Chains A and B, each alone.
Chain A
Amino acid sequence: MSPALSLTAIGLVVLATIGIGLFGLRISRTTSDFYVASRAVSPRWNASAISGEYLSAASFLGVAGLVLVNGADMLWFSVGYTVGYLMLLVLVAAPLRRSGAYTLPDFAETRFESPVVRRICAGLVVGIGTLYLLPQLHGAGLAVQTVTGAPPQVGAMIVAVIVVINVAAGGMRSITFVQAFQYWLKLTALATPIFVILLVWHQPVGVLDSLHGAAAEWAEPLSRAGGRDHPLYATYSLLLALCFGTMGLPHVLVRFYTNPDGRAARRTTVVVLALLGLFYLFPPMYAVLGRMFAPDLVGAGGDTVVLELPGRVFPGTTGDLLGALVAAGAFAAFLSTSSGLTVAIAGVIDQDLLRSRLHRWTGGDYVAVNSFRIAALIAMIVPYLAFTVTGALSLADTVGLAFALAASTFCPLLVLGIWWRRMSTTGAAAGLVVGGIAASAAALVNVSGAPQGGWPRALVGQPAAWTMPLAFLTVIVVSKLTPDRIPAGTARSMVRLHTPEAVDVDRGLPSR
């Protein structure tokens, strides 16, 4: 691998990101621009941007690495990431857009009329966002280390600084353009090496040798290839977390508010599904080729297989060029997901923690946009500090815990809040607290030292199968016990969430 070429490619991605971000700055003026691009982004742009934001380090590097090491069961990761959007489409996409809220705590407050529920949500957004930013920074460090040999802190620092500059400069509007560009860059970077390999060899069957024969146990599902116990339980639990966690990720939700109306939100999601399906065809191919050309990476965790494969297959200039392209794509993945997360976390920090305090300290003598910029800085500093403390964690596993936490907290809140009119405020708060504590406890045990094998390890490693039903059950039981705490405006909220925009009814909120 040639460090000079790869660094040039990474530099170009960084420059393009900042360049498009600055272009956004020139047309980004109001607070609404900063948060949701004034809600005027067309479905195609928006779908590219959503996919660009969603395909993180875990998708670009992590899935291929997991499949390489742990075998066919890990194919469920990319399936789950995609089906998560189908669940989001059918359960929350249009109602969420029609809710008329900027952020998740906004939704919670207008639906449940409770500042307490709002505050719990704000805390969870920051928590899930930080848990999801960690692997992005870790991936960036890994990529720079693979390319140049520099310590991991360097890559993480580069991503952190660029994201804060870009988010603080242009907010959501510029992020939309940046992320749409980054989707196509990522797809190109991942697909080109595969096509070159297939073209050069004319014999794709030979390429697939690692899938057949005596040494192909890893290619079988439920084979415990990675030493994971209870593979059937783990598969179902993972699938549950990914399918129902996607809708609860803070950066995914913020993105949906940029659709012009509920119909557009649905249509955007359909395009997203097509773009995601196209992308996820490629990571498994890296794993199959990696088994053949880079078997040593199986023992080394596998997260670098996408970066190293082109150089292993083509020693020389071709490998260097393809390696540089893949490194650029990986950087696009870190930058786009981190930007989206930072916008989401900063929006919440700004609204719920910072703005009222700034107002008090300065006596109202401040500009709202500056508060957002300070929030963006805080949103990145916290995970960066956490990154320097925690060190190495497997990319897709950490992301899996963020999904499990989202599936156990925001998923019940949104799904029941949108479809069940007898949900009470107390039930909402209880569900968030119980689901949040159960899933975070599992995550903490996992990070600090998981139990050795058997059921305890399976239950803690993939907690969603018990934490998510627990959260749903808590909401339902507590709501049944506290029927007097059903929000007074529930009927009006239901009208707002479900009636199409073409119908002229009172939605109980000033139209924004």
Chain B
Amino acid sequence: MSTPEGPRRVRVTSPRTSAARRPIMPTGTREIDEQTRLGQVYMQSLIQSQLRLTLAVIGSVVLVLGSIPLLFWLVPPARTLSVLGLPLPWVILGILVYPVVYVAARIYVRKAERIETEFTEFVGRQ
């Protein structure tokens, strides 16, 4: 007598096995790729934090650099004030501006890269 043709035996196990499970693939990139609500929120938060940083730098430049002509306009003695044997305008515009701009750029790059590193870790690496 042959064995009856029944449904194949299925082994039922608990998901809580001791075997290591496959690592969960990051889904952040998929959310972005499929342009879901969540993916759009991810992108918006990245762009907004970068934009906030950018606007902070531009704001400081406008405030610091933009106030210099105004200072000379409103306070005429500042035009001829002597600093270490040089007139103040020449010290500011000829020398001081450059290291300040360089330091601002360094700070900006460090912060922008930190935002990107956090984003990369959040949505998952390649």
How far is it, in angstroms, between the C-alpha of A269 and the C-alpha of B57 when the chains are bound?
A: 15
- On chain A, the residues within 8 Å of B69 by CB distance are 221-222, 232, 235-236, 239
User: Judging by beta carbons under 8 Å apart, are A494 and B35 in contact?
Assistant: no
Q: How far is the CB of B26 from chain A (nearest CB, A)?
A: 9
User: Judging by beta carbons under 8 Å apart, are B43 and A495 in contact?
Assistant: yes
B1 touches A (CB below 8 Å): no
How far is it, in angstroms, between the C-alpha of A505 and the C-alpha of B31 when the chains are bound?
A: 10
How far is it, in angstroms, between the C-alpha of A219 and the C-alpha of B65 when the chains are bound?
A: 19
- On chain A, the residues within 8 Å of B120 by CB distance are 500, 502-503
A403 touches B (CB below 8 Å): no
How far is it, in angstroms, between the C-alpha of A500 and the C-alpha of B28 when the chains are bound?
A: 14
- On chain B, the residues within 8 Å of A222 by CB distance are 69, 72-73, 79
Task: Name which residue of chain B comes closest to A204, CB basis.
Answer: B85
Task: Name which residue of chain A comes closest to B82, CB basis.
Answer: A212
How far is it, in angstroms, between the C-alpha of A276 and the C-alpha of B98 when the chains are bound?
A: 8
How far is it, in angstroms, between the C-alpha of A419 and the C-alpha of B52 when the chains are bound?
A: 11
Within 8 A of B (CB), among A464-502: 491-492, 494-495, 498-500, 502
Chain B at the A interface: SS class: helix
How far is it, in angstroms, between the C-alpha of A79 and the C-alpha of B68 when the chains are bound?
A: 12
Asked if A211 meets B105 with Cβ closer than 8 Å, knowing A221-B69, A505-B33, the reply is no
A280 touches B (CB below 8 Å): yes
Q: Mark B residues whose CB is within 8 Å of A.
A: 29, 32-33, 35, 40, 43, 46-47, 50-51, 53-54, 57-58, 61, 65-66, 69-70, 72-73, 79-80, 82, 85-87, 89-90, 93-95, 97-99, 101-102, 104-106, 108-109, 112-113, 116-117, 119-120, 123-126
The 5 closest A-B pairs by CB, nearest first: A277-B98, A75-B93, A504-B126, A500-B116, A220-B79
Q: Mark A residues whose CB is within 8 Å of B.
A: 72, 75-76, 79, 82-83, 86-87, 89-91, 94, 205, 208, 211-212, 216, 219-223, 232, 235-236, 239, 243, 263, 266-267, 269-270, 273-274, 276-278, 280-281, 284, 419, 491-492, 494-495, 498-500, 502-506
5 contacts between A and B (CB under 8 A): A72-B93, A91-B58, A284-B90, A498-B47, A505-B123
